[in-house]
Amino acid sequence: MSTKSNLSLNALRVFDVAARAGTFKQAAQQLGVTQAAVTRQIQTLENQLGMRLFQRDNRVHALTPAGLELAPALESIFRELDHTIQRARSTADHNITRLTLAISSERLRYWLQDRLADFHSIYPHIQLSFVRSDEQVNDHQQAEWASQIQHENIDLLISQSLLRDTQVQQTTLYKPSYIAISPDSTCQPNEATWFVDKGHPMHQRVINQHTHGSVSLNINQCADTTMALDLADTYQGIAIIDEQLAYHPSLKHWHVLGNPESSRSVAVYAQYRKKRRYSVALVALLNWLKLQVKDIDI
């Protein structure tokens, strides 16, 4: 005889159903298994207990006195177990983790927004909220964003500027390439109006591709990428953007001028408070963001 500590939970479940069903055939139908499978589970349980639970003949499967003793107790135990599992599920449904993500408006609009449905389908218990940040964090903003992260007013900052704070951890999401794009397929770089950020080093490198010899460009300063794209669309001009943003459906018919420009010193970072252990929700978000970048690269 097997020790009682080795009793099969599955066999106990089958016995509970069979005892209430009346026949092994009906029990099999309720469980979605064969009658032979029910018989094997009952035999397994009887061998483990060292006692008969059913009296068997060709027509009737009646409970023995031992079976009559065990059946109502098991029914009560499994009913309480089912109620406990249901309460646990209900608790989990209300156990929402909230994360606040600081991100530039253009990155949210052209890179992240259309992918959020995928994130919520995978992680329905993680609720994201957003605050606006800049891609380039200036010296004045450095201390403010570091403070926001340290005090956990925001959980994650996505930007191209590293915060100079020992309490902030950084993860590189990817190394961006920059391209010049226009809605006009006949656009001539030396004739169209450029809407760019002249202070951005990568914008300047793209511009330099088109300023050979004495060629000069009509450049309008515009540090906001969303605004630059709107102006380029209105005036059939040129904007410079992170190449990964160009995969957005609203930009797929725009035309690329020249070659992408990149630099090993320029990256997009995810930054968050340094801790000994990170929350499951934050780790899930970081890993998901990295997968979105890889997805775009394919």
pTM of the complete model: 0.65
Alpha-carbon gap, residue 106 to 242, rounded angstroms? 10
- Identify the residue whose tokens are 């252990």: 277
CATH code, residues 97-170+272-297? 3.40.190.10
- CA nearest to 141, candidates 100, 104, 178, 110: 104
Cβ contacts of residue 171 below 8 Å, gap of 6+? 269, 270, 271, 272, 286
Antiparallel, parallel or unpaired: β 218-221 and 193-196: parallel
Backbone angles phi, psi at 223, to 5 degrees: -85, -10
Alpha-carbon gap, residue 106 to 158, rounded angstroms? 12
User: Is the sign of the CA dihedral 148, 150, 154, 158 positive or negative?
Assistant: positive
Q: Range(s) for CATH 1.10.10.10 in the chain?
A: 4-93
Per-residue confidence (pLDDT) for residue 1, from 0 to 100: 45
Domain 177-262 CATH superfamily: Periplasmic binding protein-like II (3.40.190.10)
- CA nearest to 179, candidates 158, 198, 207: 207
Q: Is 162 exposed, middle or buried (0-12, 13-18, 19+ CB in 10 A)?
A: middle
Per-residue confidence (pLDDT) for residue 137, from 0 to 100: 86
At what angle are helices 9-21 and 35-49 packed, to 10 degrees?
A: 120
Buried b (16+ CB within 10 A) or exposed e, 10-33: ebbbbbbbbbebeebeebbeebee
Backbone angles phi, psi at 137, to 5 degrees: -95, 115
Q: Range(s) for CATH 3.40.190.10 in the chain?
A: 97-170+272-297, 177-262
Per-residue confidence (pLDDT) for residue 185, from 0 to 100: 93
CA distances from 240 to 74, 145, 159, 227, 243 (A): 70, 26, 17, 11, 9
Per-residue confidence (pLDDT) for residue 169, from 0 to 100: 95
Those residues of the chain that have pLDDT short of 70 are 1-5, 57-60, 90-94, 213-215, 294-298
Per-residue confidence (pLDDT) for residue 140, from 0 to 100: 84
- CA nearest to 225, candidates 102, 101, 142, 109: 109
Per-residue confidence (pLDDT) for residue 214, from 0 to 100: 60
CATH code, residues 4-93? 1.10.10.10
Per-residue confidence (pLDDT) for residue 298, from 0 to 100: 37
Cβ atoms of residues 106 and 226 within 8 Å: yes
**Per the structure block, which two tokens stand in for 11?**
């066999």
